[in-house]
Structure formats: structure tokens, C-alpha cells
Structure 1
Amino acid sequence: MDVAALAEEKAAKPDEGRSAPLEGPPPPPPKPDGAHPRPEDLVAKAIAPVKVEYLRAPPSRSRSTPEAGDAADDDVNKKKNAPSNVVKEKKSRRQLKRERQQEQKSALHICPEVAKSGNVDACRYNNNCRFSHDLDGFFAQKPADLEGSCPFLSVGEPCPYGITCRFSGTHNKPVESQNPPEKSFEINSLKKDLQKLLWKNKVSFPKANAQLKLLGLAGGNKTKAMPDVNQVEIHSESLNGPDNLHLDDDNGVLCSSANEAEPALITCTEKDCLEDASVIDPSRPLKKAKSSVDEGRCLADNNSGTYHMDKDFKGINAQNGPQEISTDSLCSSKVDLSLKPHPRERKLIDFRGKLYLAPLTTVGNLPFRRICKALGADITCGEMAMCTNLLQGHASEWALLRRHSSEDVFGVQICGAYPDTIARAVELIDRECLVDFIDINMGCPIDIVVNKGAGSCLLTKPMRMKSVIQAASCTINIPLTIKVRTGYFEGRNRIDSLISDISDWGASALTIHGRSRQQRYSKLADWDYIYQCARKAPDALQVLGNGDIFSYLDWNKHSADCPELSSCMIARGALIKPWLLTEIKEQRHWDISSEERFNILKDFVRFGLEHWGSDMKGVETTRHFLLEWLSYTCRYIPVGLLDVIPQRVNWRPPCYHGRNDLETMMASDSAADWIRISEMLLGKVPEGFTFAPKHKSNAYDRAENG
């Protein structure tokens, strides 16, 4: 059965009735009483108790192998009529470089200016342009347009991709919409001017450097003489510290960290953050300072010279976008920079009872957060960003800080190993982005992060934890939150002994994942220990729990068992079934149909094309992240198929078929089926397309995969 036929069949009979399995023999008849294991016995073995009439014989391949779903079995591929090359082959650097060079020489690598206007003369570089200007060659190689309309037209904006858009045939068609489109926009993008300064190591961090000096954490990062305390503008000549090394207190060697910057990008500093006060020279006129207090906070736009108001979206209107404000009205009045707010006087975020979507690696991108926001999330947080990459101006890392206009309470999560790196990163984020809070990840279990001294490694170094939290919390005026695990080694929990100190160091909220670093995602989360920590926490520190929440009953149980717990963070449960947020809001088990699930995927694709672009590259990027998400959603078992509800996050689904063909395909752990679903939404995959899930979320025998 080809994709077109499947789509037509799905549209003809959406979800009513029970159809035969998509592929393979018909389901076996129910066994006599006593022949099939009892549901309680299956639950005891962490096997999902699927009703007998939906069970079917397993395929020849093993479900628990790490390669499950890679379509390596030829017999399975023939039955599923799917490509056999879904395992991503490893290419050498030379091969990748050769492919990039060939792509640049291709007519498909057309100049963006020419593509946007459709006119060869639109490019100002003419023959010196590194892109192709061959329109005839481009149209000869361009794949056919996809079905549907351009996503940018639906939001009332002209398509920025012009003829390269995979929906370019619909650009001249009127959009049929009875209601005006809701204004949708993104902020927190990395500006080119700032990126160039970061590349050249020419961004100064006066607040972070002053705070590090006060805390005695300057280490090897020596700077030249600090300016007078009353001088409100720091000149670039005073911050030309060339040293960018700090002492690794574990190995006793010098290591590279965030570099001292030279010219001041924002030249405002606080009087009480500097030492050695001296009398200001009355002969030198003072320049106007920009206010650094919460009221009237301004954010510089390097491209337009305008400023956008503050951290709570007060200057952002959902209908009109960012509002430009005159700099004269913000910076003309003199501000007493000595009035630094106490950490307890900051604007706090009330997490109590709120649905907090966890920062999720790879899948927790902006389009996915928009899906979760529409399904009931109250607070969202971006994916974990590495501080060193942010300070070096990596565009891919800054993309993790992007915020959509629908995210009314939004935070970013960062990860770093040293207080100087983290302090400068939080100052840069606070200065350049609109965020409501910054979260520091001290629980990441990934080896590449831990081996560099970040993530869970900080749990073994409480004094460095103290330095990191103090330096970061005193550098910014927005709330600082921390995410940790119970400890580094299994059976040796330690957060309960640090929880009071974490509050004193300046954190506003603490999220505890109920597993140790050594456990990764194996075994169930230890909620009794989370309750113990919440009861020990001071009133000023909000404590949130995290781990294994997969139904509204789990949410209710944790809230009732420990009233001291402010809220619970939703993580893997939202990856597998994002409508979990709706279930908690509406206090019900949602037996969601395959058609409703498919509509959610449609919305994700539309949001992805708006975010990553509707050209060929944007379509394939959207496809990639859709496939990564499908590698999690296949673990969901519909409520109507279970003998015992609700489903638990650690249950392994047996081989079963759904109530129709689409539901059966969505339950498959084969990447070949995920690709078929993506083709129903984004057209045929390119020739030679390969895919393997990054986190092997369809492999159940690996501890790190749950």
C-alpha cells in the first residue's frame, strides 16, 4: 500500500470501527481463559496490559535491540514497502566537505536575493556572488511543490523564501480566512553585530567581572586597572584583559574558559559592584547612563538603534509585535546606580500549581513548545544551551534561546562548569534577550557534559555550586532557578543537605529530578526523597519535582502527598503524549483518536516551516525534528486498548495493532513507518535519505533511554 492510498483511506474512514493491521497476518483469536497472563501479572513485569483482541504476533526481529526500527531486516522492509537505508551512515570529513562543495556549485544553491525577488539583477554582488544566479537551472532541478499553502501566508506575511519555497505556487492565491490571522513572531535572535563582537572577543561583562571580583572568583582572569567607582561608563581601554585562562581546581592545570572582552557593548555598571571608590574628576563630563534596574529596563537593538521594553513582554503586544520606544525617554533621566535590588526583592515567578514544561534536548524546540502551549502548558523553557558556545557566538546555540510570542512565561536553561563562564553568560542573556528566568542545569547526566565539569559533575563539588549560584544570581535581576538530580551516585543522595544553602546562595526555585546521575533514566523516580527535600526547604525557595509523571493521577498524587511541593515539571511524559498537559488541566484520561493525533502533527509541521523555513532546507529540517519526536510518540498506547489505565511511563508495549491503519502505524517502533508518516505531511523524502533516532528512544534495554 503506497502513501497516497493510505492517506486516501485514512481520509475516507478516519477512526470509526476497527480495521485489520497495517501489515502482517490478522490478529490471533483470543486465547481461552487462563492462557493469557493476567493484567496485574503484566503490570508487575512492566509490560503494558493491552487487551487480548489487539495483540498480534511479534515480527522476527527483536524489539529490544538498539537498532530496532532501523529497517535492517529485509523481510520487514519488503512487507512495509519502505526504504531499507534508514540507518545513518557515518561519513568522513572529506566526504562531507566534498558534498558541501558540490552543493554550492549546484543551481539549487541560488542567491537569496534572487530567490526572494525572482529577478537576476536583484543581487548587488552580480558575478562576484558566491551563490548561483541561474534561474533556469534552478527551476529544472527544483522538486515539485508540496500540497497545501505556504505557512507564511496563513499568518498574513509575505513569504521570505520566494521561488525557493516548496509552496511557491500558492503565493499569488488569496488566503481564505474569515478571521484576521493572529500575529505570530519570534524574538531573542542573535544579531550579526553582536555575533561579530563575540567572535572577536570584544564584548565586555562589567557586572559579571565586578561580581566575580567581589566574590574573590576572578582567578586567572586578570584585567587592567578598574575605572573609578563613580564613572558610569566603562571605556574599552579599561577592559583589555588578554588572559582567558582559569585554574582547574580538580587537575591543577590552566584551562580555557570564557574570555575577557574588550570594548563595552553595554557600558552601564553598578556603583555597589565595584571596589576602591575614588573621587570623580569634575573636569570630565559624564555621559548619560542606561538604567539597569527592573523598572524601565531597555534592550538594545543593534540593527535599528531602537529599544524594546522589558522582561515581562510589557513592550510586546500579541497583535502588533515589538513596540519601539524612544531611547531619550528611557535614558534621559539620571538613575542612582547604587540602588541595587536585594535578591529577595526581585520579581519572582509563582510556580505553584503551574504546568511547567521541562527543557527537553533535541525535541523541546520552539515548534514543539508551541504545541505544548496550545495544549495547556503554563511555563516553558528552552533547550539546554552551553555557556561557552553562547559566549563564542555560535548561531546554533543561540537558536535555543528563541522565544515565540505565545510563550508568556518563558525561561532559558544554560549549562557550564565555572562561575566566570556562567556569570558572563547570564549577563549576556539578560542584556540581549527577553526571558523571565534563567535556569542552570546541574543535573545533566550526559558524559560529554559531565566530563567537562558541568551538569551532574557539580553535584560532587558543593563549593563550586555555591560559587556558580552566587556569581550568577548577583549578576542578574531576574529569577535564577536550578535543576539538579538527587545525587551523583545511586544510593548517595545529597541535595537534602544543600537545599537551605541553595536558597541562601540566591536561587529562587529548585527542580529535583528524582534519580541520580548514575541511574540516568533507569528505575522509577524517588518521589519520597523529593518530598523530604521539599519539607526541608525554606519558605523563600520553591521546590519542584520531576520524574515519571504520565497522567493526571500522578500529578494529583504528588500534589496531595506533599503540599510543600510547589509544582511538578513535565518532561518525558510530554514527549510521548503532549496532550498530557490537557489531561491534567481537565482532570481526565483522553482516549485521543489517531486523527486528532495526526492533526497535532500537522500543527507541528506548520510551526516548523514557520520557524525553520519553507524552502528545501527548512522542509528537511522540519522532517528531521518530526522524526525525532515520532521516535517518542510511538511509545504511547491508546487508552481504549488498555486493560489497566493509566499507562505508566516505564511500561513496555507488546506487539499490538491499533483500531485503524493510522493508529497501527503510529504505534510502530520502526523508523521506516515514521518516515512514511513524515511523507504524508512533507512529501517524499530526498533520494538517499537516512535517519536514526538520536536518543534511541525506541530501544528499551538501554538504561539511558528509559
Structure 2
Amino acid sequence: MAEITESTVILGEDSSLDAAGDQPVRSSDGANNRTPEELVAKAIAPVKKEFLRPPPSRTQSDAAAEPKKDNSAQSGLVKEKKSKRQLKRERRQDKKSALNLCPVISKTGNVDSCPYKDNCRFSHDVEAFQAEKPADLEGECPFLGSKEPCPYGLACRFSGTHQERPHNVNTTCSLQKSSEINGLNKDVQKLLWKNKMPFPKSDAQLKKLGLTGPNKALKNMLEGEKGDLPLNNSNANGSNCGVTHDSTNGFDHPLEVSIEENGSDDLVTDEIRPLKKAKNEVEEKHSAIHEGFMTSTEQLEQVYTEKGALSDHTMMETDISLKLHPREKKLIDFRDKLYLAPLTTVGNLPFRRVCKFLGADITCGEMAMGTNLLQGQASEWALLRRHSSEDIFGVQICGAYPDTVARTVELIDRECSVDFIDINMGCPIDIVVNKGAGSALLMKPMRMKSVVEASSSTVEIPITIKVRTGYFEGKNRIDSLIADMGKWGASALTIHGRSRQQRYSKLADWDYVYQCASRAPDTLQVVGNGDIFSYLDWNKHKSDCPELSTCMIARGALIKPWIFTEIKEQRHWDISSGERLNILKDYVRFGLQHWGSDRKGVETTRHFLLEWLSYTYRYVPVGLLDVIPQKLNWRPPSYYGRDDLETLMASDSAADWVRISEMLLGKVPDGFTFAPKHKSNAYDRAENG
């Protein structure tokens, strides 16, 4: 990557255009004529007057008379969304392209190295590939310093620096320090595709809790329970019959279930720690598979089947389905640790690495849908990947029904290395809520209970929950449930101080968060969430409510990830544009290591960098403010920075975000388009659950 300083930045002619490319950016909103106190009352960032941009001088009639310029190509915005058929056609054409070189040949440089020969679906024409390959980018290959050569070989956009790779075998291997785990095993994926993956632990717990089979539906009917009723389970005579819910089929034919109001005390008699057993033959076979001695799908299916049969047989002799007491679980101490929230789209592994470097203690992966994980979707499993620097790492899953969540939890515990699993019960996105997951669970407390009980009793790692205050504004629910959540089996509860209906409008209700934390049992750690944007916000919430274990940081980290450094060092960091650019450089380097240094990896890194830049422009440097610290709900006026780079970073134009990406990743390809995933005003709404 090229070395860039503040003095090398040149603003383009359209740098003052907005995201649409044909209108000037917003004026200073009358900031020149208002006092800092008046601006703060209007939720406008009180930027010093000498840095404010003057309002446009041209009149409205002049603007109407002037012909509009078509800057859509320069702004990088998408006018029309491509259809699925068109995208499929483009993928087929891309496969036939000479640029789609066989990965094996690209890595080795030998045309005869591909085991598929003429049957390979990739191109084997090295000369045609090199003729069409874009020019190398400036900078070094992100895999330099490794004992092994670059995994992308000829396809690497930094291939010209490969010969500079040190050959000393004693050189520290950067890849070993930057290792990633929690990949999806191909044989496991095939079992999930075929719906042949057994789930002995979760099925045993579901059976014990009465959450599967026909007996539960009949029992609910006889006792007149007013909780969730089974769907699609009536036969022609009108009587209830058992319907097995297949988690891998999504939410099409769910079996809604609930449990008795009496609580979980009646379900467990003797909560004793099971004796530790020596590794049996089935477990040894399972270990052998992961060590590479057994790799076929048939062998893996046989092992899981034997394991399931063994569990069923053991249950007849000793009740292994007794869930562990919360004190017997592996616990994580969240107290006073800096917790980076799971963030949709932007909270990817490279971003988490940046936050870890800047002081985050606990990280959590992006929300993954349980049904997609159970279907073996590779894109969903990618959300579970963990970097070696994430010493305390959890994954967040989302599901609508106990069997879906319990089986997902068992699968993650079996195949991944995580420290805790967080169940999302607060996501406000419509597509999630309409399926009965996320915030929809807040209206079904009995199903919330069954989801947590089934999942927490299936695995030994801690199960945590993330919720909002309630579904509807003014109808909070958590205060009436929090006393029982520890009994359900949850180790920690994160409360976002907004309702689902409120989304991100208005400020978070921290008084209600404090109220809930004071009612929580000692066994349940409570984490607060909402509007933390400085170390003063952090200190205030911790001092106002000692019962809070810690505070989760979400959008504040998106806008300024160095907030973790500010909290640990207890200062307002007046970070320079050069220091901010170095953070972006680190992100790009981590992104190339994660997504790849070839053509596709570079553009994937660029895409997620642009998504992140759609948040970072909202940061106003400390040295430009009349009142500090900046609040999360403040809308920055249009202003000049202290140098050209700082001015560029403050632009709300997508064209300028693209320009910043070109500084780090070279020119965008022909026909490049970009539209932020989060199009709504993030001061009011955002799609981060």
C-alpha cells in the first residue's frame, strides 16, 4: 500500500457534493448565528466558527437554471439494483473469464499442477491471465514475513514483491500470529446439506423439557396453558398431533412451544455434577476426524450416529440430561471489561482486530441466523471465524424456536472454539422480526424461557442474552423477567436502552437499564448498551449504577474505534488525520489477510472499507469543537478540517469515501458502484442489532 500523508491529498472538484452527486452538501445549519449551547440543544455539533463552511452563495433560481451534471459514476452510487438473474449471468461470465485462473495453478505457477486437468472449471491459460490482470498495487504483499509463500501466488495484486520475501526459516511467521480458526469442515457441511447431522445433546434436553413430541401439545391443551400454541399441528378431526420441527428448513413449518409457569425448579430434581468419564471410542473417532485421520463424510456420519445412539443408551441408565447448575458452568467475568458489540456488516474480523489493537477486551462476531448455520451455508459460518488476538470471543446467533437455537448451540460448541454464545433477542430488523426471532421474542416470554433453558442446558460454555427494553414504546418488559433469567441458565444479559419500535431514535433510557440491573440476581451479570461515545459516558454509567458489570460499545466504536483507548487512558484523544489514516491502513492490511490479496479479495476489502467510512465521517475532531466531548446524537455541520485529509474524512459524499479507498487500494475497477447498506439516517435508525 502506498505511503500517504496529509499533504498528498487533493480534493476533487465534486468534493462538496452530497451522496446523490448533484446537490451541495448541507450548509452549516445556521451554526454561524447560534451559540454553542443553542447548537447542543438542537443536537448539532458545536464546531468552532473558523472551521465552518459558508452556506452556498448561489440562489435557488441560479441552481434551477444551471444544468445538472450526471455525477452518478463519480459518486459510486447504485441507481438500480441488479436482479438475481443478472447477477447469476455475470457470475457465469466471470467463471469463463481468463481472470478466473485456477487457484492451484496460481499458487504453484505450474499448469500441470491442477488435479482436475481439463475438467477444472477455472481457466488454465496463464498468459491470458497475466495479459488481463490489473496492474499491481503499491505496497507490500500482506503475507510477507511468512515461512510459506503467498497463498494467492500469481493472482496476488502485490505479486511483484513476492521475490522480496525473506527466505530465513527463523523469521517470525506473521501468519502464525495472525491465524484464524472456526472454519466450516467440508464433511460437516455435507452432513448439514443432507440433513443427516444428529444432535444428541440438544434433542435430549428438548425431550426432557417437554419441548418436542406430541405429549407436549396434548399437555398444553389439557392444562389450558395460555402461552405459545403449536402451529400446523391439527389433523382432519381437529385434534392435536405431534409435528417435528426441522431446523434446517428455516421457519416454514415451526412447532411453537412453551413451558409451564412454575419455573425450572420443577424440571430438575438433583443438580449434581456428572462424573468425568474417560474418552470413549466414539469420541476418539471424532477427535481423529479433526486431526485428519478420518475425512470421509460416511465415516463422520457414522461417528455422529454412533455418538447419538450412545447418548440415548446412556440416558436410559443415568440421566445425563440434567442441566448444569449455573455455578458449575464455565463463567466469564465481564466486570469492567471493554465489550465490543456484535455489529452487522461492519463488525467483521478485520474490524475486530483493529478494535483489539486499540484496547477492546471482549469481542463478539456478527449475528448469525441459526437456520442458515444448520443448513451449512458457508457465508453464515464465515461470521463465526475467530482471530488469534481475540482472547475473549463470543458468537451471536438468532433463532425463533428452542429446537433451532439448541441445535445451533450444540453445533457451534462441537465445531468451533468460542468462549460464550450470545442469543439475540433484540434485533429490530423487519426480516428477522417477521420470522419470530430477534425483538419478536420480547412479546413471548415463555418462548424466551424455553429458548434459554434448552440452549444453556445443552452446552457448558456460558449462554448470554441481548435484549431491548421491550417491543413497543412505553411497554417495557425486561424488569419483570430479569429476576428469573438467571434461573433459566443465562450467565449475562445485555440491555440496549431502547425499544424495538424506537429503533435508534431518541436517546437510550439508561434509567430503565439501572432499574433492571438493580433487580437482577447475583448470578446474572448485567451489561448496559446505548449512546456511549466517550470515557465520560462510560464513567457516568458505571458510577451511577454499581450493579452494572460493564457497558457494551456499539456505534461509538464504528465512528471512532479509538474510544477503547480513550476509556483506558481516561482522556479525550484529539487524533490527527494521519493517525486516523494509519488505522485505515491497518484495517486494509487485516482485510487483505482475511479476504485475500487477489482481485476479488481487494474489492471485498474495499467494499467493507466503504461501509465503515459511511460511519467514520460523523466523527468531529476534538480540536474543532467548542464543547467536548461529542455526543452520539449530534449532527455535524459542514466544516473544514485542519488539513485537506481531515476535510476529506469529514465529507458525507460517497464519492469522497471512494477516493479514500483509492488511496489505500488503488483505482476502482471500471463500472464500479457502491451504495451503503445502511441508507437510513444513523442518528435515527441503523440496522445494527
TM-score range normalised by the length of the shorter chain: 0.7 to 0.9
| Counterparts of 1:207 and 1:647, CA distance in 2 | 49
| Counterparts of 1:305 and 1:668, CA distance in 2 | 55
* Matched residue type, 1:180: T
Say if 1:142 and 1:496 are closer, same or farther in 2 by CA, change over 3 A.
Answer: same
Say if 1:695 and 1:60 are closer, same or farther in 2 by CA, change over 3 A.
Answer: farther
Structure 2 residue aligned with 1:290? 283
Q: Is the 8 A contact 2:184 2:378 kept in 1?
A: yes
Matched, 1:258 2:250: no
Quote the offset at 1:259 in angstroms: 4.7
* Matched residue type, 1:469: V
SS in structure 2 opposite 1:153? coil
Q: How many residues align?
A: 601
Structure 1 residue aligned with 2:453? 470
Quote the offset at 1:193 in angstroms: 0.8
Structure 2 residue aligned with 1:361? 344
| Counterparts of 2:497 and 2:680, CA distance in 1 | 20
State how 1:413-424 maps to structure 2 within 5 Å: 413-424=396-407
Matched, 1:198 2:176: no
Matched, 1:49 2:32: no
Quote the offset at 1:181 in angstroms: 4.7
SS in structure 1 opposite 2:281? coil
Matched, 1:83 2:74: yes
Structure 1 residue aligned with 2:124? 133
Q: Is the 8 A contact 2:15 2:651 kept in 1?
A: no
Quick one: which of 355, 361, 369 aligns to 1:378?
A: 361
| Counterparts of 1:220 and 1:59, CA distance in 2 | 71
Structure 1 residue aligned with 2:211? 217
Structure 2 residue aligned with 1:688? 671
Q: Is the 8 A contact 1:631 1:698 kept in 2?
A: no
Matched, 1:207 2:195: no
| Counterparts of 1:496 and 1:578, CA distance in 2 | 32
**What is the TM-score of this pair, normalised by structure 2?**
0.81
Say if 1:382 and 1:491 are closer, same or farther in 2 by CA, change over 3 A.
Answer: same
Structure 2 residue aligned with 1:122? 113
Q: Is the 8 A contact 2:368 2:380 kept in 1?
A: yes
Q: Is the 8 A contact 1:21 1:660 kept in 2?
A: no
* Deviation sequence 1:475-504 (CA, Å, 0-9, x none): 000100000000000011110000011111
* Deviation sequence 1:219-239 (CA, Å, 0-9, x none): 4699xxxxxxxxxxxxxxxxx
SS in structure 2 opposite 1:290? helix
| Counterparts of 1:445 and 1:172, CA distance in 2 | 50
* Deviation sequence 1:118-139 (CA, Å, 0-9, x none): 1111112211111111111101
* Deviation sequence 1:288-346 (CA, Å, 0-9, x none): 35399xxxxx9665461499xxxxxxxxxxxxxxxxxxxxxxxxxx9x99597433211
Q: CA RMSD in A?
A: 3.5
| Counterparts of 2:134 and 2:445, CA distance in 1 | 56
* Deviation sequence 1:423-465 (CA, Å, 0-9, x none): 0000000011000000000000000000000000000000000
Quote the offset at 1:60 in angstroms: 9.5
| Counterparts of 2:214 and 2:621, CA distance in 1 | 57
Say if 1:204 and 1:24 are closer, same or farther in 2 by CA, change over 3 A.
Answer: closer
| Counterparts of 1:536 and 1:117, CA distance in 2 | 62
Runs of 4+ in 1 over 6 A off after TM superposition: 19-22, 176-179, 250-255, 703-706
Structure 1 residue aligned with 2:156? 165
| Counterparts of 1:306 and 1:587, CA distance in 2 | 53
| Counterparts of 2:565 and 2:167, CA distance in 1 | 30
Quick one: which of 363, 379, 391 aligns to 2:374?
A: 391
| Counterparts of 2:57 and 2:289, CA distance in 1 | 59
Structure 2 residue aligned with 1:36? 33
Q: Is the 8 A contact 2:505 2:684 kept in 1?
A: no
Quote the offset at 1:90 in angstroms: 1.1
Matched, 1:505 2:493: no
Structure 2 residue aligned with 1:304? 292
Quick one: which of 608, 619, 622 aligns to 1:625?
A: 608
| Counterparts of 1:354 and 1:104, CA distance in 2 | 47
Quick one: which of 388, 406, 409 aligns to 1:405?
A: 388
| Counterparts of 2:618 and 2:91, CA distance in 1 | 36
Matched, 1:95 2:86: yes
| Counterparts of 1:340 and 1:489, CA distance in 2 | 34
Matched, 1:180 2:172: yes
State how 1:558-573 maps to structure 2 within 5 Å: 558-573=541-556
* Matched residue type, 2:419: D
Quote the offset at 1:174 in angstroms: 3.3
* Deviation sequence 1:129-164 (CA, Å, 0-9, x none): 111111111011100000111101145442111101
Matched, 1:10 2:3: no
Q: Is the 8 A contact 2:76 2:675 kept in 1?
A: no
Q: Is the 8 A contact 2:145 2:165 kept in 1?
A: no
SS in structure 2 opposite 1:441? strand
| Counterparts of 2:284 and 2:50, CA distance in 1 | 68
* Matched residue type, 1:258: S
* Matched residue type, 2:172: P
Most deviating of 560-569 and 110-119: 110-119
Quote the offset at 1:701 in angstroms: 6.1
* Matched residue type, 1:418: Y
State how 1:538-577 maps to structure 2 within 5 Å: 538-577=521-560
Q: Is the 8 A contact 1:546 1:570 kept in 2?
A: yes
Structure 1 residue aligned with 2:223? none
| Counterparts of 2:495 and 2:620, CA distance in 1 | 28
Structure 1 residue aligned with 2:255? none
Say if 1:341 and 1:458 are closer, same or farther in 2 by CA, change over 3 A.
Answer: closer
Quote the offset at 1:87 in angstroms: 2.2
State how 1:223-242 maps to structure 2 within 5 Å: none
Structure 1 residue aligned with 2:299? none
**What is the TM-score of this pair, normalised by structure 1?**
0.79
| Counterparts of 1:176 and 1:648, CA distance in 2 | 51
Structure 1: stretches of 5+ with no match in the other structure: 26-30, 62-72, 223-246, 261-272, 276-285, 293-297, 308-333
Quote the offset at 1:176 in angstroms: 11
* Matched residue type, 1:201: N
| Counterparts of 1:551 and 1:185, CA distance in 2 | 32
| Counterparts of 1:529 and 1:213, CA distance in 2 | 37
Structure 2 residue aligned with 1:455? 438
Quote the offset at 1:100 in angstroms: 1.4
Quick one: which of 618, 621, 630 aligns to 1:635?
A: 618
* Matched residue type, 1:658: G
Most deviating of 123-132 and 490-499: 123-132
| Counterparts of 1:504 and 1:96, CA distance in 2 | 49
* Deviation sequence 1:202-235 (CA, Å, 0-9, x none): 111000000000000014699xxxxxxxxxxxxx
* Matched residue type, 1:304: G
Q: Is the 8 A contact 1:343 1:474 kept in 2?
A: no
Structure 1 residue aligned with 2:272? none
Q: Is the 8 A contact 1:535 1:564 kept in 2?
A: yes
Most deviating of 467-476 and 128-137: 128-137
State how 1:101-120 maps to structure 2 within 5 Å: 101-120=92-111
Q: Is the 8 A contact 1:514 1:529 kept in 2?
A: yes
Q: Is the 8 A contact 2:344 2:688 kept in 1?
A: no
* Deviation sequence 1:76-104 (CA, Å, 0-9, x none): 959xxx71442253112222222112111
Say if 1:648 and 1:157 are closer, same or farther in 2 by CA, change over 3 A.
Answer: farther
Q: Is the 8 A contact 1:193 1:303 kept in 2?
A: no
| Counterparts of 1:58 and 1:421, CA distance in 2 | 55
SS in structure 1 opposite 2:526? strand
SS in structure 2 opposite 1:384? strand
SS in structure 2 opposite 1:627? helix
SS in structure 2 opposite 1:518? coil
Say if 1:493 and 1:88 are closer, same or farther in 2 by CA, change over 3 A.
Answer: same
Quote the offset at 1:112 in angstroms: 1.0
Matched, 1:649 2:638: no
Structure 2 residue aligned with 1:674? 657
